[in-house]
């Protein structure tokens, strides 16, 4: 498989927001899969203060060529002022899984 794939990660404070992001991305065929994990505890610095929050993590699988479209779609509906949207390259994967990932996302983007 010559295509490159990424796992995009974002977090939200409400499960319903995680599910909304997942549905928008899946229905738009921008991604093949979104796994929602949570709640988790996040401790972070925001505007000079240490914050504690319960959050939900979205693990999003897609083609590397679709990253900008995925990021744009997430930004449009994400409730945070500065959302976490990061991508990690998938170095290896089973051939049949990567073929499925490719087949379930929109074509003509690389």
Helix, strand, coil percentages in the chain from 3-state DSSP, rounded to 5 = 35, 35, 30
Distance CA 86, CA 89 (A): 10
Structure confidence by residue, pLDDT tens digits, 14-65? 999 999 999 999 999 999 999 999 999 999 999 999 999 999 999 999 999 9
Sketch out the chain's domains with CATH numbers.
5-103 (3.30.70.120)
User: What confidence tier does 1 reach under pLDDT thresholds 50, 70, 90?
Assistant: low
pLDDT at 35: 98
Query: Residue 93: is it exposed, middle or buried by C-beta count within 10 angstroms (0-12/13-18/19+)?
Result: middle
pTM for the structure as a whole: 0.94
Structure confidence by residue, pLDDT tens digits, 59-108? 999 999 999 999 999 999 999 999 999 999 999 999 999 999 999 998 75
């Amino acid at each position: 498989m010559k295509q490159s794939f990424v796992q995009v990660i974002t977090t939200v404070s409400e499960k319903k927001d995680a599910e909304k992001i997942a549905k928008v991305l899946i229905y738009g065929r921008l991604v093949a899969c979104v796994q929602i994990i949570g709640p988790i505890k996040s401790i972070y610095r925001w505007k000079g203060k240490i914050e504690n929050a319960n959050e939900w993590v979205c693990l999003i699988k897609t083609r590397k060529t679709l990253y900008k479209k995925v990021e744009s779609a997430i930004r449009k509906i994400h409730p945070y002022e500065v959302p976490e949207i990061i991508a990690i390259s998938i170095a290896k994967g089973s051939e049949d899984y990567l073929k499925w990932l490719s087949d379930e996302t929109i074509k003509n983007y690389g």
